[in-house]
Amino acid sequence: MRPLTDALPKPLLTVGGMPLIDYHLQALAAAGISDTVVNVAWQKRRLIDHLEQCDTAGMRLHISDEGDSALETGGGVYRALGLLGTEPFWLVNGDVWAEVDFALPALAAGRLAHLLLVPNPEHNPAGDFSLQAGSVVNRGANMLTYSGIALLHPDLFAGCSDGKFPLAPLLRRAADAGQVSGELLPGAWCDVGTPERLAELDQQLNDQAAASRSS
């Protein structure tokens, strides 16, 4: 995302006149979630300053500091477990935009994760997982892409240690053990992984807002 992220963390990139993270915080608050943990690393002071000024409708924000270098998704979540507690929690990547209802479903017995999946975008044509009768498997027909949004149980991280590591191997191991469920994300979604995709989403949201005002 450079040069856009040279002095700005990805969650503060703006689309439709609002930082990406604000869309997630508003959706979480609307679902009645009262506590949210935000991981910070690159340009952390700017993100913390923004969060301190956010109107989060009474939702309490907690900061998990990853240090000077990001710990990747797995390591970042592991370090935040002390703030997240012992119950399942939503994980939302800071560089995606999505229309999501975060009303918290219960993880079925024996499940350690529930993934929201999307049709494969152009930048990930092979997909990540397959969805078979509500279960996520690593290979199969009709591969789909992991949206970066999931409901996770802390036990998914059993045996891990503090440090930098990805989330994907944990999900794949749990999927092989039949411990991951999933569903298609019903709303719109975008991985804003490049300046071009960010600009396209911004234009789309601005056009929608303009059409709504004129109707």
pLDDT at 81: 96
Outline where the chain has alpha helix (H): 20-30, 44-53, 72-84, 168-176, 195-214
Residue 54's pLDDT band, with cuts at 50, 70 and 90, is confident
Q: Does some domain include residue 6?
A: no
pLDDT at 2: 64
Question: 66-104 pLDDT, tens per residue?
Answer: 988 889 999 999 999 999 999 999 999 989 999 999 986
User: Rg of the chain over CA atoms, in angstroms?
Assistant: 17
Q: Does some domain include residue 185?
A: yes
Q: Does some domain include residue 132?
A: yes
Q: Does some domain include residue 123?
A: yes
CA distances 174 to 106, 155, 168, 179, 191, Å, are 17, 10, 10, 5, 24
Phi, psi of 73 (to 5 degrees): -65, -45
Number of domains in the chain: 1
Q: Does some domain include residue 105?
A: yes
Domain CATH code at residue 63: 3.90.550.10
Average pLDDT of the segment spanning 3-12: 78
Average pLDDT of the segment spanning 102-118: 91
Q: Does some domain include residue 100?
A: yes
Domain that holds residue 164: 11-214
Residue pointed to by tokens 């059993």: 158
Say yes or no to pLDDT of 47 above 70: yes
Tokens representing residue 84 in the block: 């997240």
Residue 86 CA, distance from chain mean position = 19
Q: Does some domain include residue 5?
A: no
CB 64 within 8 A of CB 39: yes
Asked if omega into 88 is within 30° of 0 (cis), the reply is: no
Q: Does some domain include residue 106?
A: yes
First CA to last CA distance, the chain: 35
Q: What is the pTM of this model?
A: 0.93
